[in-house]
Structure 1
Amino acid sequence: MRYYTSNNTLFIRGSFRAASTGISGGIRSVSTLINHTIPEGEDPADPEKMLDRVIAAGGLERNYFGLTTAVTTSRTCVLQYDFMTVFISAGIGGGATVPGTGINILIVSSQGMEDAALLETIMVAAEAKAEALHAAGLALTGTPADGVIAACEGEGDVCHGSAGRTTEAGRRIREAVLHGISEALLLSNADVSGDRTAFFVFSRFRGEHWVEWNPENCPYYPCHFEGQSCDYCYCPFYPCHDESLGEWTESSGGSRVWNCARCLLLHEPEVAAYLKKFPKASRQELMQRATKRNGS
């Protein structure tokens, strides 16, 4: 999986088995997931054709699941909990500082999931959303504009047959949505500018907790070398499973996890700048660029 934002749209690319409650939803194999922001004041007569145009403008195949939102793309929250990555855009109300109403949740597992587990993922996400809204003091379980996409890439030997809230998959989904809804609602009401999404990672360092990543004033800089780029501290290609860049290691829980601590690819300033300019560039293209730069 890899993701990027362009033209008011979050694009998530990969080779997915996915289930969607959105426009032309269902369950099937797709190569793209999108969450598209409808500009304020617009009310498209045919949302499906609108999303088709978004896909075509991005130079992509018409093989996708899509959601629409009134929340601006820059106010998306991204949460990574081990093999689960969750994207949330959320806005409630129509006040002067609230950019739209609706809650969209896109969930991607780097481990395989049966179709039944993908459907359970949607159920668990909806339950966690309602729980988070109640905890925020809001007397609602969602809005009519809400949507959920659950997807997996099916990489590795693990395939989850179930994703109920007490399973390994479901527990991670629930915790990410619970934390992400509250953060996304705060972000949608915040007086912020810029195009950087909020990124949270579940950490077990000194106890289990969520940590928001911020490239400014990072206490660990430089973690690789002086002058490194920190724009992609959390790599959009993770887990790439390219053993020239990383390796499999055993986690504290005894499972295999992908470790790319020694990878410097996106810490190279020129390579990071190239990916920001050309967000659809492949990992192989970036590796070739790094090789040419280093003269090898």
Structure 2
Amino acid sequence: MRYYYSADTLFVRGSFRAASTGVNGGLGTVSTLLNHTVPEHFGHADPSRHLREITDAAGMGEDAFGLLTAVPMRHLCILQYDFITVFVTAGVTNPNPDPAVPHTINIIVTSREGFSDAALLGAIITVTEAKTRALRDLGRTFTGTTTDAVIAASEGEVVHEYAGPLTAAGMRIYAAVLRGVAAALDRQEGRVEDTGPSYFIFSRYNGDHWVEWQPEGCPYYPCHFPGQVCDFCYCPYYPCRDGDLGHWVESSSGGQVWSCSRCTLLHIPEVADYYKQNPEASLDELKKLRATLDTKRSGA
């Protein structure tokens, strides 16, 4: 799985088995998941056609599940909890049944460990329970808006048969959605200032807690080399499983996590610029670019 975003669209790319409650949803095998911002008074007569126009313009096929929102992508929250990654946009100016105001809570859950179809559907239930809890904790009297939607997707052989909140997958989904809905509403409603998507990682260092990564005033800069670019400190390829770039390490809570602490690939300014211009670039393509740059520098 990998993801990237423009000013108005989040693209999540991979080889997914997925369940969606959004436009043209259902159960299926898809290569693209997206969340797209529409104008506040969106009046397109055919939302499914609108989504196809977006994927066509991006050079992607029709095997996609998509969601629509009036929330700008700069308020997107991305949360990583082990093998689970959750993407949340949230606006709740529309708790009442007024379709003319399309603010929405959209949630995409991805897993790098495979889910059965039952687990995908169970994940949607778990997401809904966590979203409801988040709204209650914020003092809201409603459980969602009239246009909320969820996509649950996974890659690989089935590892998880169920995804209720007490399962290994479900408890991670629940925690990420609970944190993500609150964080997304803080940004949409102006309690937290942002200029782009926010990133949260579940850390077990010094006790379990969520950590928000922020490039401004990072106490570790430069963690790799002077002049590095930090736009992709939260790597869109993670976990890449490329032995040239990282390795598996033992987690303090058991199991293994992918460590890329020594990877500098996307911190190289020329490589970061190339990726921004070519978000579909493969890791091999970026590694070849780095090798070319190294050759030029060594010959200078």
TM-score by length of 2: 0.92
Q: Structure 2: which amino acid aligns with 1:189?
A: E
Q: Which residue type is aligned with residue 262 of structure 2?
A: R
Aligned twin of 2:80: 80
Displacement after TM superposition at 1:6 (Å) = 2.2
Alignment correspondent of 2:173: 173
CA gap 1:193/1:214 in 2 versus in 1, 3 angstroms: closer
Match of 1:152 in 2: 154
Q: Percent identity?
A: 53
**Which contiguous aligned blocks of 4+ residues in structure 1 show a shift greater than 4 angstroms?**
none
> For 1:108, which of 110, 131, 137 is the aligned residue?
110
AA aligned to 1:128 is: A
User: Aligned partners of 2:5, 2:259: CA distance in 1, in Å?
Assistant: 26
Give the superposition deviation at 1:41: 2.5
| Contact map agreement 1:92 1:100 (CA 8 A) in 2 | no
Partner of 2:98: none
Q: Residues of 2 paired with 1:264 and 1:153: CA distance?
A: 26
Mapped partners of 1:154, 1:223: distance in 2: 33
The offset of 1:42, in angstroms, is 2.3
Q: Does 2:257 match 1:257?
A: yes
Partner-residue secondary structure (3-state), 2:134? helix
Greater Cα shift, 239-248 or 165-174:
239-248
Partner of 1:41: 41
Query: RMSD across aligned C-alpha pairs, in angstroms?
Result: 1.6
Report the Cα offset of residue 192 of structure 1.
4.4
Gapped regions of structure 1 (runs ≥ 5): none
Structure 1 residues 107-165: Cα deviation after superposition (integer angstroms, max 9, x where no partner): 0111111111111110000000011101111111111110000011127xx71111110
Range with greater deviation from structure 2 (59-68 or 259-268)? 259-268
TM-score, normalised via structure 1 length: 0.94
Match of 1:275 in 2: 275
Specify the SS of the correspondent of 1:51. Answer: helix
- Structure 2: unaligned runs, 5 residues or longer: 95-100
Q: Which amino acid aligns with 1:265?
A: L
The 8 Å contact of residues 18 and 30 in structure 1, kept in 2 or not, is answered as: yes
What is aligned with 2:144?
A: 142
Aligned to 2:97: none
- Distance in 2, matches of 1:291 and 1:39, equals 43
1:73 Cα offset (Å): 1.3
Aligned-residue offset at 1:7: 5.1
The structure 2 residue matched to 1:128, chosen from 127, 130, 139, is: 130
Distance in 2 between residues matched to 1:256 and 1:205, nearest whole Å: 15
> The residue matched to 1:141 in structure 2 has which SS?
coil
Aligned pair count reads 289
